[in-house]
Structure 1
Amino acid sequence: MREMMEKFSALYLREMKRVYRSVYMWIMLVSQPIMWLIFFGSSFSQVPSQFLETFFHTTNYIAFILPGELSVSMLFVGMFSSMSLIQDKRFGYLKRVLVTPTPKYDVFLAKVFGGATRGLIQAPIMIVASLALGVSLNLSPLSIAVLFLSLFLIGIGFASLYSILTIKTSDWQAPGVVANLINLPLMFSSTALFPKTFFPDWLKAISDVNPISYSAELGREVLLSGDPNWAYLGYLAIFSVVMIILGTVIANKELQPE
């Protein structure tokens, strides 16, 4: 068990070093969430506050989309996890790892947890940016802990899903294709950007099982009202556990160096 954890830790630390040593990754991690808040968040700036309060349950649209954008950012980290795996295949690193006694699931878990951790870096950046834009948040040790836990769970789930879908390929384009197929539908079928009051019935049905909706709603409850629905956290935990177990099984069977 100790040897297994040492191998996982080494692979995980490698994933994190790749983030911290990349200037372009830091530029993206810092600029992307701030631009989302400023440009998309300002799109409702002229909407009457009564309308926002009635349908969005807040008078500030940026406050509404902040938890949603935090959740969506964890969706996109899955793409980077699968890109990292494909890069290791193409450059021969994965082959060198797999000729050692390192279990295949350690490789998979390192990619997944590394991707989820990378996504969490954006959370404090977006919170600080929203405070600078005048958003009032319920920030307490409990609310921050619940927020980060929910984001970490959804990040693990989607990083696992991406890796499952691209585990048998070494094509650079595969993560982008998968992103186009699932990212936008998942984002716009959730309550990340708009309340489901505006959705048609068929879209409401999708939203009710979409993990992003649960993460966004939980984030709003802890950051705005301070009264979270703990069932949402349970749903995210189930999603995360199911995806990571499925991914571990598939990685042991299908993961091959190329």
Structure 2
Amino acid sequence: MYATYVIWTRHMRKFVQQTEELFGLALQSVLWVVLFGVGMRGMIGAVGGNDYMSFILPGIIALSALGGAVGGGMVLLDERLRGIVKEYLAAPIPRLSILLGSAASTATKALFQAALMLVVGLLMGARLSVNPIGWLGALALLAVFAIGFSGLALGVAAISRSIAGYHGMIFLFNLPLLFASNALYPLDVLPGWMRVIVLINPATYFIDAVRALAFGTAATLPLWLSGLILIGFAVLSMMFALTLFQRSLRA
């Protein structure tokens, strides 16, 4: 665990010192909420009696977590190409701790960006529930969700040979996963065949749970089921990343 903490600290120190990345995340948060959220609210108005800004904000947060996961994979790929990973491997630490350090830093950045989006969303008219326990539950699910997609990104980064190849592979599960979810529209308006696809997507369970916990919307899916699926997804994703990472070391 100490090795994970050291790698997390290294990544977070670099994040704080690189003002470009920090500013980029902040600006991206504002642009998504203000331009996309406000624009869509002007067209749609309300969903199920709730303001559309409150409805769409969890989906925008999910998108930021997906983008953060891609960035976390990029960090590992950059360290591989520059030989920094070999320095990690020279130390007597578990291989999993390298991946967990990267996943933890990605989750931390996702929490930071989500906080910014939440503040901007509230200023734009989103209505938060009055249940602080629900807020903490939503943050916990965000961390699990970010770690899950970090595992996928880290697995792809472990076998990619170039930055261009990484982005080509990662695009297959980035934006398509967002649009094949309940981020922009409620489940009950979808045709049956699309609802099946949406229910396979872990982002659907995260978004539905956050709407219920943080914004007081009635949950379409059981909260216990959403939590269980997200935890299982995170575990399987990290196993996937570890398998490909170990395979890349033998190549």
Q: Is the structural similarity TM-score above 0.5?
A: yes
- Following the alignment from structure 1 to structure 2, what is the Cα–Cα distance between the partners of residues 12 and 166? 18
Partner of 2:101: 110
Among candidates 221, 226, 240, match of residue 232 of structure 1: 226
Partner of 1:12: 8
Map 1:91-240; keep pairs closer than 5 Å.
Answer: 91-225=82-216, 229-240=223-234
Cα distance change, pair 94–155 in 1 and its aligned pair in 2 (3 A): same
Cα distance change, pair 64–255 in 1 and its aligned pair in 2 (3 A): farther
Task: Give 1:183 deviation, angstroms.
Answer: 1.0
Task: Give 1:149 deviation, angstroms.
Answer: 0.8
Cα distance change, pair 256–75 in 1 and its aligned pair in 2 (3 A): farther
Partner of 1:67: 58
- Following the alignment from structure 1 to structure 2, what is the Cα–Cα distance between the partners of residues 123 and 132? 14
Is the Cα–Cα contact under 8 Å of residues 73 and 154 in structure 2 kept in the other structure? yes
Is the Cα–Cα contact under 8 Å of residues 64 and 220 in structure 1 kept in the other structure? yes
Is the Cα–Cα contact under 8 Å of residues 38 and 124 in structure 2 kept in the other structure? no
Task: Give 1:47 deviation, angstroms.
Answer: 4.2
The superposition leaves residues 184-209 of structure 1 with CA deviations (integer Å, 9 ceiling, x where unpaired) of 21010001111133333222111011
Task: Give 1:179 deviation, angstroms.
Answer: 3.2
Partner of 1:245: 239
Q: Point out the more displaced range, 23-32 or 240-249.
A: 240-249
Partner of 2:21: 25
TM-score for both structures, normalised by structure 2:
0.91
Equivalent position amino acid for 2:137 in 1: V
- Following the alignment from structure 1 to structure 2, what is the Cα–Cα distance between the partners of residues 26 and 48? 32
Equivalent position amino acid for 1:193 in 2: L
Is the Cα–Cα contact under 8 Å of residues 66 and 149 in structure 2 kept in the other structure? yes
- Following the alignment from structure 1 to structure 2, what is the Cα–Cα distance between the partners of residues 255 and 185? 30
Is the Cα–Cα contact under 8 Å of residues 83 and 172 in structure 1 kept in the other structure? yes
- Following the alignment from structure 1 to structure 2, what is the Cα–Cα distance between the partners of residues 139 and 14? 36
- Following the alignment from structure 2 to structure 1, what is the Cα–Cα distance between the partners of residues 159 and 92? 21
Where 2:174 maps in the other structure, the secondary structure is helix
- Following the alignment from structure 1 to structure 2, what is the Cα–Cα distance between the partners of residues 19 and 126? 18
- Following the alignment from structure 1 to structure 2, what is the Cα–Cα distance between the partners of residues 227 and 123? 21
Listed as ranges, the gaps of 5+ residues in structure 2 are none
Task: Give 1:74 deviation, angstroms.
Answer: 1.1
Task: Give 1:44 deviation, angstroms.
Answer: 3.2
- Following the alignment from structure 2 to structure 1, what is the Cα–Cα distance between the partners of residues 217 and 38? 25
Equivalent position amino acid for 2:167 in 1: G
Q: Point out the more displaced range, 103-112 or 226-235.
A: 226-235
Cα distance change, pair 252–137 in 1 and its aligned pair in 2 (3 A): same
Is the Cα–Cα contact under 8 Å of residues 79 and 175 in structure 1 kept in the other structure? no
Partner of 1:37: 33
Cα distance change, pair 108–46 in 1 and its aligned pair in 2 (3 A): closer
What count of residue pairs does the alignment treat as equivalent? 248
Cα distance change, pair 237–84 in 1 and its aligned pair in 2 (3 A): same
Listed as ranges, the gaps of 5+ residues in structure 1 are none
- Following the alignment from structure 1 to structure 2, what is the Cα–Cα distance between the partners of residues 193 and 256? 43
Q: Give the aligned CA root-mean-square deviation in angstroms.
A: 2.0
Is the Cα–Cα contact under 8 Å of residues 160 and 166 in structure 2 kept in the other structure? no
Is the Cα–Cα contact under 8 Å of residues 41 and 52 in structure 2 kept in the other structure? yes
Equivalent position amino acid for 2:9 in 1: L
Equivalent position amino acid for 1:23 in 2: T
Query: 4+ runs of 1 displaced by more than 3 Å?
Result: 44-49
